[in-house]
């Protein structure tokens, strides 16, 4: 990813654009064959370009002069009818397209790891929480299945964003095609493997770039969500999962017992950067008239950084999930720690099915739940001693109501609907 955004690659893309335009002009008879022989061998000495830029304070002019020195008299045919943004924005489209391919590969690999572990823990029962409080039983695999489906949606968004930003423009100053025909633009972009900005002014419109950065930030947000869950579940009081801790690792310079979720915390910090870059992308949309360059300085930072940071985050999150240690005994202990309160909705619905008014049933169940929560008799014992309840529910029904797997009988259907079993098999 770093090489995609390195200066030599950027300049090579600029050179590819210029040569492709010259080839198109040559096919139209504007550039003689002998000049094209030199232009096809054109190079740009980066040191020489930097030297010229210190004089001109203009990177594209410095590029053109340094490149021109490598082709002699044929230099007069380079950049015919173009403006700087034709080269810069089309080159950026090439870089962003290549970066998106790498990010898409990383996203797919992470999805495969999540799918494999979801299938592995499909029946690892744990407590589901809402507002941080125990709610009802779920499985750790279902938590991961939710992440898998979200990552798959991001893959579709990234593909769309890649297509959206993977365009070029060869339309000249203010985009009017005054000196370069639209059919040449289409020809050049096709040769470069890009779409065409159908209506440009002097730049490719920055809504495309804002969308691309927003998608990257959205992916980062999901990675943060996943790793925030790891951080919560690794807390000492919970202890249900933990990041892998190698024999030689040390969690604290002061406290030898510490094993901290440092990788997950790293993801949370980096996600903040991506959201900031997306905000800068939206700020770049409203430029003055046909163009200004207020977007340019920001993009030189945020595009390489956003892609490199997200590339790292995807690989890091894959490592976290792949090596995540699962403490099933703690999950089961935490699930049972409420003394059965987590089955209150099943009792409520059973009473309703037995003919009790729903509001009355709610009050009955809530009364016993509150008493058990406050240290009274266990929830099930209180229900079993209430004649209003036992008049409607049998002992066998009680056994079913307090069996967590009765609530999870649709897991196979859920995993099948996601196609997760097959993805997990392929990933394994």
- What are the domain boundaries of the chain? 7-80, 85-334, 341-401
> Looking at residue 406, what is its pLDDT?
86
Q: Please write the tens of the pLDDT for every residue from 93-132.
A: 999 999 999 999 999 999 999 999 999 999 999 999 999 9
> Looking at residue 245, what is its pLDDT?
80
344 counts as catalytic: no
Fold for the domain defined by 85-334: Fumarase C; Chain A, domain 2 (1.20.200)
Tokens of 16: 């590819």
The Cα 154–Cα 415 span in angstroms is 19
385 counts as catalytic: no
What CATH architecture applies to the domain 341-401?
Orthogonal Bundle (1.10)
Tokens of 153: 């949606």
Q: Coil, strand or helix: which one is 176?
A: coil
Selecting among 3, 131, 289, 410, the annotated active-site residue is: 131
Segments of the chain scoring below 50 in pLDDT: none
Closest CA to 347 of 392, 385, 408, 409: 392
Selecting among 58, 176, 179, 252, the annotated active-site residue is: 252
CATH 3.40.50.970 describes domain 7-80: no
> Looking at residue 291, what is its pLDDT?
87
Q: Coil, strand or helix: which one is 169?
A: coil
> Looking at residue 379, what is its pLDDT?
93
> Looking at residue 293, what is its pLDDT?
86
Exposure of 59 in the CB half-sphere (CA atoms within 13 A): 12
pTM as predicted: 0.93
> Looking at residue 28, what is its pLDDT?
96
Q: How far apart are the first and last CA of the chain?
A: 26
> Looking at residue 422, what is its pLDDT?
82
Rg (C-alpha) for the chain, rounded Å, is 30
> Looking at residue 423, what is its pLDDT?
81
Residues 6 or more apart whose CB falls under 8 angstroms from that of 96 comprise 162, 165, 166, 209, 212, 303, 307
């Amino acid at each position: 990813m770093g090489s995609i955004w390195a200066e030599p690659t950027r300049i090579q893309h600029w050179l590819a654009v210029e040569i492709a335009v010259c080839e198109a002009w040559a096919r139209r008879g504007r550039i003689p064959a002998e000049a094209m022989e030199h232009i096809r061998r054109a190079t740009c000495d980066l040191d020489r370009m930097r030297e010229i830029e210190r004089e001109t304070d203009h990177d594209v002019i410095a590029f053109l002069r340094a490149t021109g020195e490598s082709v002699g008299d044929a230099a007069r045919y380079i950049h015919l009818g173009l403006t700087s943004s034709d080269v810069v924005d089309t080159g950026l489209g090439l870089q962003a397209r290549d970066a998106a391919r790498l990010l898409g590969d990383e996203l797919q690999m992470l999805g495969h790891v999540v799918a494999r572990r979801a299938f592995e823990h499909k029946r690892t029962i744990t407590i589901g929480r809402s507002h941080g409080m125990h709610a009802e039983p779920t499985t750790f695999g279902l938590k991961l299945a939710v992440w898998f489906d979200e990552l798959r949606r991001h893959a579709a968004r990234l593909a769309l964003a890649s297509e959206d930003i993977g365009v070029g423009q060869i339309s000249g100053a203010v985009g009017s095609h005054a000196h370069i025909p639209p059919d040449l633009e289409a020809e050049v972009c096709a040769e470069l493997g890009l779409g065409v900005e159908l209506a440009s002014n002097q730049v490719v419109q920055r809504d495309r770039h804002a969308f691309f950065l927003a998608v990257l930030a959205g992916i980062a947000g999901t990675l943060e969500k996943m790793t925030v869950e790891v951080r919560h579940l690794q807390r000492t009081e919970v202890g249900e999962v933990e990041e892998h801790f190698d024999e030689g690792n040390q969690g604290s310079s002061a406290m030898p017992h510490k094993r901290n979720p440092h990788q997950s915390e790293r993801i949370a910090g980096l996600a903040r950067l991506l959201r900031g870059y997306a905000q800068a992308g939206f700020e770049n949309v409203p430029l003055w008239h046909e163009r200004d360059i207020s977007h340019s300085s920001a993009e030189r930072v945020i595009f390489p950084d956003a892609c490199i940071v997200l590339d790292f985050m995807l690989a890091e999150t894959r490592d976290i999930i792949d090596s995540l240690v699962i403490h099933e005994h703690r999950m089961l202990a935490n699930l049972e720690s409420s003394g059965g309160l987590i089955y209150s909705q099943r009792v409520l619905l059973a009473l309703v099915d037995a003919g009790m008014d729903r509001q009355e049933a709610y009050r009955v169940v809530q009364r016993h739940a509150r008493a058990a929560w406050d240290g009274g008799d266990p929830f099930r014992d209180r229900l079993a001693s209430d004649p209003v309840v036992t008049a409607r529910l049998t002992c066998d029904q009680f056994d079913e109501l307090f069996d967590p797997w009765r609530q999870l009988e649709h897991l196979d259907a859920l995993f099948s609907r996601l196609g997760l079993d097959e993805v997990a098999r392929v990933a394994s």
